[in-house]
Amino acid sequence: MFKLFNNSKYKDDNEAITALMRITSMGFGDEQDFKKENMLSVIGDIEKEFQNTTNPRLVYWLGIAWRNFTAWHIRGDERKGNLDKAISYFNKAFGLSKNTLPVQLPLEKRHNAEYLDQIDIAGELGHMLVDDAPIRDLDRAEKALKFVFDNTKEYEPCLCSYAELFYKRGNYLKSAEIGLNISDRCAISPEWKDSPPPAPLGIVGSAYRALAKQAKKEGNNDVAIIYFEKMKKLKIATENDLKILDKLKNQPAK
């Protein structure tokens, strides 16, 4: 989309996207680009000039800009308003992407700032709605992250937030189930299998630990032992977990 009025700072969508990438992405911009005043100026100019855009990439990068601006420059109660702007842009971008972007890019184009797919947008949206406390909305996050979970058999980092979502609800079994699923995805993924991230099994460990603690509190030591043994088998048990397991196994029978 080309801009036709004379006072435009950006000749088209791609130039505006490049400007947003420069102020938000290490490797694109420099120290001056990331300064608070400059970021606000660039974001404000682009919001004004492209307020009616239907380009999902441009809208997505406005979301990234507000997210990163807030993370780098804003503290306290002011964060919520800016994070709400990021969420609004991600939500709009996801809607616009339905008929314009692929659900998932080919492997060689994934996780590359030059390209974008529906999974990228949904992942950013869901991740923020789980991880950022001022705007947390687990129901909205679940819809976005379920879209990612259901539309790829690959590991996506945002899926850790999907497992975390159920942990925050206290549904530890579901959290562990998803954590194991995405860990299995890592093991067969051409992108991740050689260097699997620890996060998926870390979430499984947290879920099993919570279930063991719950069972122990209720006097169901046999059940607690099962979950500690699961952690031991997966090699995610801490030293303290192993101590508790040993203690439970050596308790005299009642």
Report residue 137 as tokens. 């909305």
Q: What residue type is assigned to position 165 of the chain?
A: L
Query: Do the two domains 1-152 and 154-254 of this chain adopt the same fold?
Result: yes
pLDDT of 36 higher than 90? yes
Residue listed under structure tokens 């630990």 = 209
Q: What residue type is assigned to position 178 of the chain?
A: I
pLDDT of 38 higher than 90? yes
| Amino acid 113: pLDDT | 86
- Average pLDDT over every residue of 217-237: 96
The pLDDT tens digits for 198-213 are: 999 999 999 999 999 9
Architecture of domain 154-254: Alpha Horseshoe (1.25)
Distance CA 45, CA 80 (A): 22
- Average pLDDT over every residue of 171-187: 97
| Amino acid 197: pLDDT | 94
The pLDDT tens digits for 44-76 are: 999 999 999 999 999 999 999 999 999 999 999
Q: What is the largest CA-CA distance in the chain?
A: 85
pLDDT of 5 higher than 80? no
Distance CA 84, CA 192 (A): 32
pLDDT of 3 higher than 70? no
pLDDT of 179 higher than 70? yes
Residue listed under structure tokens 């303290």 = 240
The pLDDT tens digits for 90-137 are: 999 999 999 999 999 998 898 888 899 999 999 999 999 999 999 999
| Amino acid 8: pLDDT | 78
| Amino acid 104: pLDDT | 95
Classify domain 1-152 by CATH number: 1.25.40
pLDDT of 1 higher than 90? no
- Residue spans of the domains in the chain: they are 1-152, 154-254
| Amino acid 136: pLDDT | 98
Report residue 224 as tokens. 């607690």
Residue listed under structure tokens 């490797």 = 27
Q: What percent of the chain has pLDDT over 70?
A: 96
| Amino acid 251: pLDDT | 83
The pLDDT tens digits for 180-195 are: 999 999 999 888 989 9
